[in-house]
Structure 1
Amino acid sequence: MSKKLKINTWTAILNIVNCVLFTISWFVIFGTAFTDALGSTANATSGAATFFYVMAWIGVVLNAICIYQSHKYGIKMTGGILGTIGSVCFGLTAVLAFPAIVLLIISCVFLFQQHPANNGNQNQ
């Protein structure tokens, strides 16, 4: 029986937080862009976008760590792989927010389950 990893659980929680953030990101970015267009003295759009992109790249790093740790302890790596792809999608461009959200939701399911990897040599 494989070990349950806390890094997988915490990364799944971060992926849920990122789903919420990616959902509101378009509203926040468009709202700050509209405020900037009305003549605000500060450029808030770049600061708001930077926050969302930083959260996405933190997700990439944590999901990559999950892949490594899951491989090391014989846990399926599907959750970490999907989480990495989802976070990279948003990290490259906010236009891919919807696919990123879908991938992160599916990733959370696999990260919370932490099923043992089937190595082909186990008879069940």
Structure 2
Amino acid sequence: MASKIPQLQSKVNQASAVVSNRGASFYKLLLEQNKHYIQEPPTVEKCQTLAKQLFYTRLASIPLRYNSLRKELEYAKNIIKNRRDLNMENVGMAALFGLECFAWFCGGEIVGRGFTFTGYCV
């Protein structure tokens, strides 16, 4: 472990050099492209007001999202009730969706382990 510290320090120094060379221009470009989102004046009070607006807007959207969830569940219940009417295309799409969810889960597990390929997802 101690032998990896100098290697890690050199990588950190390289990354720091790249950020210091390109970081300021990227920051300026990012602000210029998104200046229509910037609130003037940039004060603490304005930030607190925006945070409260975001919180209460999301709080107000809960009933709409709940209704959407209820509609989706009703749709799923109807599909299960009428499963004899399903064709191969619908079953194939459902299987592909399940496979995609499993693949994203495995990818997340691999990324979470630091890109090591061990365990049950391989």
TM-score (norm 2): 0.28
Q: Which is greater in Rg?
A: 2
**Which structure has the higher relative contact order (CA within 8 Å, separation 6+)?**
1
TM-score (norm 1): 0.27
